[in-house]
Amino acid sequence: MSNSLPRPAAPAPDETRSVLAIPAFRRLWQAMAFGSLGDWLGLLATTALAQQLSGGSYAKANFAIAGVFIARLLPAVFLGPIAGVIADRIDRRMLMVVADVIRFALYISIPIVNNYFWLYTATILVECVSLFWSPAKDASVPNLVPKEKLESANQVSLFAAYGTAPIAAGLFAILALLSSAIASAFPSFKGTSIDIALYINALSFAFSAWTIFHLHEIPKRHEAGKKADSSVGKSLIEGYKAVSSSKIIRGLIVGMVGAFIAAGAVIGLARTFVGDLGGGDAGYGVLFGSVFTGLAIGIAFGPKIFAQFSRRRLFGASLTVAGSFLVLLAAIPNFTLAVFIVIILGAFSGVCWVTGFTMLGLEVHDDVRGRTFAFMQSIIRVTLVAVLAISPIIAAYIGEYRIKVRNTEVAYNGAAITLLFAGLFAILIGAVSYHQMKDRPNVSIWSDIANAIKGELGSITGAQTKGVFIAFEGGEGSGKSTQSKLLKKWLEEEGEEVVLSREPGGTEMGKDLRRILLDHSTGDISPRAEALLYAADRAHHVFSKIRPALDRGEVVITDRYFDSSIAYQGAGRILVSGEVARISRWATESLFPTLTILIDQPAEIGLSRLKSKDRLEIEPIDFHERIRQEYLQLTLLDPERYLVVDGRQTIEEIHSEIIARVGEIAGLRRNIRDAQGNRLMKPIRRAATTARNTARKTVKKK
C-alpha cells in the first residue's frame, strides 16, 4: 500500500496521452498500475484472511484485522527516512526488480503457510520492500520524461496508485461471488477466493518485475545521494515549531488529524462491520470500492461544485458533513443503504482531502513548507497506527448486542458503535477547524449556502497571487489619496516594489471612463449604466495593471475598488447591492484585496473639505450617508479583510494606524512585530478598536 499522499486530481486527458506516449515511461506506468492493483487486492485479501483465521471470535477478528493495518504502517514510520537514501546509492532498476520478486514470493507464501504469524511477518516484509521500491520509482521518473512533462507524469503515477483501488475492490467482490463456481470447475484446487486474490496479487508483482527488468532506460543510480530525511520525531518537533504560530495552519492540522482518526476507525473496522451486516467477502469488496469511488468523486468534482465557497470554510464544513454521514452509517444496519452512505461520505472526505492539501500548500510559507508537510505526514502515520490499534480494542470491549423493538431485532455490535464514536469525533473536529479558520465570523454558513444558490457568493475564491493587494475606500473628502501615497512611500522605504493606482482612471481607457462618469457635461446616467461603466473600468484595470503587478510579487495599492460600486451604486443609487457585487466579482474574476482600508467619517465632514465637486459629490447628504452606512455594513460582514480607521484623526495618526496593520500582512518583506514596535503601537491599536466599536454602534442605531 503506497504511503505517498495523492495530488488533488488527475491530469487533463491531453496531458495524460502526451506523457504516456513516451515508451519508457509507459512501460514503467504499466508496471506501477498492475503492481498497485495487486497491492490493493492484497490488502483486501489479507484483511479478509485475518478475519477468517479468527475462528468466528468477534474480538479476535477485530484485533487480527487491525494487526494487518498496523503491520503495513509501522515500517513507514521507522524505515521511511532510510529507504530513500539507500535507493539513491544502488542500481535503481535492479532494486525495483528484486523488490518485486521478493513481494511475489511473499504473497505466494501467505495462503500456503496460512497462519497469523506468517501473515503479519509477510505483511511487514512486503511493506519494508515497498519502501525501497517507491523512492527508486519516483527518482527514475525524471530520467524517463522531459522536465516540462514531469508534473503530468507524477499525476499519472498517482492516478495509477489510487485509481486502481475501486477496480481491485470490484475484482475481489467478483472472486468472492464466483468462489463456488471456481471450486466446482477445479476440484483439485482447495483454496478460497482469498487465496486466489493473493495469487493474482503475486502475479501482478511478477509482471512488474519482468517489465522493469527490460526497462534499460532507468539509470543505475543518482549521481549524488540525497541527504537523509528527518526522523519522525525530528519532523514532529520541527513541524510543530513551524505551524504553532499560525491559527489557520493549526486549524488545518487539527482537521487533517481528526479526519484520519475517523478514517483509521473506518479502515480498521470495515471488515467486521460488513460481517455484522451479513455482507461477507463480496460485501467487503463492494464497500471498500464505494469508499474510493466516493473519494474520487469528491476530489474530481468537489472543487468545481463548491468553487464559490471560501476554502477555509469548506474544509471544516466538509469534514463535519463527512462525520455526520459516518454517524448515519453506524446508525443504519442495512448493507444496501450503507453502500450509498459510504459513497457520499467518501465524496465529502475527498472534498476535505483536496481542500486541506491545497490550503496547506497555499497558506504555508515556502521556507517552512517542507517541514510542515513532513510534520503532517509523520503525525498522520502515528495517528493511523494508534487508531488502528485502539479502535478494535474498543469494538471488542463493547462486544455484540441485539436490541428488540416489538417484533424486530436489530444488531448493534462493537464495530458500529465505535464508528458512531468516530463520526461524532469527526463532527467535533470539523466544527473546531471551521471556527479556527472561518474567514467571516459574523456570516453564517447557511447564509453562504443561500448566496451560493443565488450565485452571489464570492468570498476569497479568486486565483492566488504572489503579491499583496491593498484597497483604500471611504466617502468623499476622507483623505484616501493622501494616505495611499503615504503608504506607498513607507512600503518603498521598507524595500517593497509598489504600484499605486486608482478607480476610475488607473489606465488610459480608465481616464476616458472617469471623464464620462464624473464630468458634469455628461449629464444624467442611468444607475445601471453607471454601475456597468464602473465594472468595465475595473475589469480592464485588473487585467492590464493590478493582476500583472501581483503576479510579479509587487504590492498594489488602489484608491477605490469594488466596495465603492457596492456603496455608491448599490446603496447610493438604491440598486440591489448583491447584484452590483456580483457584477464586480465577475469583472475581476473574484480578485479580492488582501486588505481593505476604510477611512470612516461623517459625510458632512468630508464634503466640507471639498473645494470643487464632480457629478457624484454634488449629490444630497442623504446619498452620501447611505454610502457611509453601506461601507460600515460591509466591514461587519467580512471583518478580517477590513481595517476601519477614524478619518477625524490627524493625517499622522491615521498613517500610523495604517502601517501598524499593513506591517502584519504575511508576504511583506518586513513585519512590525518586534517588542518595541508592539509597545509603540498599543495606544494606536486601542484607538482603532474604539473606532471599530463606534462604527458598529452607529450601524445598529441606523
pLDDT digits (tens, 9 = 90+) for 490-535: 999 888 899 999 999 999 998 999 888 888 888 888 999 999 999 9
pLDDT value for 220: 65
Q: Which CATH superfamily is domain 462-701 in?
A: P-loop containing nucleotide triphosphate hydrolases (3.40.50.300)
Among the listed residues 157, 154, 163, 169, the one whose alpha carbon sits nearest the alpha carbon of residue 296: 163
Which residue has better confidence, 421 or 76?
Answer: 421
Which residue in the block uniquely carries the three cell numbers 450601524?
699
Which residue in the block uniquely carries the three cell numbers 527508486?
136
pLDDT, tens only, 291-336: 778 877 887 677 667 766 666 778 888 888 988 998 998 888 788 8
Three cell numbers, residue 513: 471612463
pLDDT value for 680: 47
Percentage of residues in the chain having pLDDT higher than 90: 14
Tell me if 348 sits within 8 A of 473, measured CB to CB: no
> Edge-to-edge, what's the strand order for the sheet holding 468-474?
498-502, 555-559, 468-474, 595-600, 642-646
Q: Which CATH superfamily is domain 9-229 in?
A: MFS general substrate transporter like domains (1.20.1250.20)
How many Å apart are CA 64 and CA 185, to the nearest integer? 32
Which residue has better confidence, 449 or 598?
Answer: 598
**Mean pLDDT of all residues in 670-677:** 42
Domain ranges of the chain: 9-229, 230-455, 462-701
For 292, 428, 571, 662, the CA distances from 343, given in Å and listed in that order, are 8, 21, 46, 45
Assign 62 to helix, strand or coil. helix
pLDDT value for 230: 47
Residues whose CB is less than 8 angstroms from the CB of residue 189 and which lie 6 or more positions away in sequence, other chains included: 182, 183
How many Å apart are CA 475 and CA 96, to the nearest integer? 69
For 241, 310, 564, 636, the CA distances from 247, given in Å and listed in that order, are 13, 16, 31, 21
Evaluate if residue 390 carries a pLDDT over 60.
yes
DSSP codes of every residue in 116-131: HHHHHHHHHHHHHHHH
CATH value of 230-455 in 1.20.1080.10, 3.40.50.10470, 3.30.450.20, 1.20.1250.20: 1.20.1250.20
Which residue has better confidence, 441 or 545?
Answer: 545
- Does the global pTM surpass 0.85? no
Tell me if 67 sits within 8 A of 50, measured CB to CB: yes
Evaluate if residue 11 carries a pLDDT over 50.
no
> Which long-range contacts link 215-218 to residues 24+ away (Cβ below 8 Å)?
215/24, 215/27, 215/28, 215/31, 215/93, 216/93, 217/24, 217/143, 217/144, 218/24, 218/28, 218/92, 218/93, 218/96, 218/140, 218/143, 218/144
pLDDT, tens only, 525-577: 899 999 999 999 999 999 999 999 998 889 999 999 989 999 999 888 888 88
**Domains 230-455 and 462-701 fall in the same CATH topology:** no
Percentage of residues in the chain having pLDDT higher than 70: 69
Q: For all residues of the chain together, what is the average pLDDT?
A: 76
pLDDT, tens only, 25-70: 888 888 888 888 888 888 778 878 887 777 767 677 777 777 777 7
DSSP bridge pairs for 642: 596
What are the backbone angles phi and psi of residue 86, rounded to the nearest 5°?
Answer: -65, -40
Cis? peptide before 504, omega within 30° of 0: yes
Query: Of 342-351, 525-534, 610-619, which has the strongest mean pLDDT?
Result: 525-534
Alpha-carbon torsion (317, 323, 327, 332), positive or negative = positive
Q: Are strands 468-474 and 595-600 parallel, antiparallel or unpaired?
A: parallel
Evaluate if residue 701 carries a pLDDT over 80.
no
Which residue has better confidence, 72 or 567?
Answer: 567
Among the listed residues 535, 548, 541, the one whose alpha carbon sits nearest the alpha carbon of residue 585: 535
pLDDT value for 542: 93
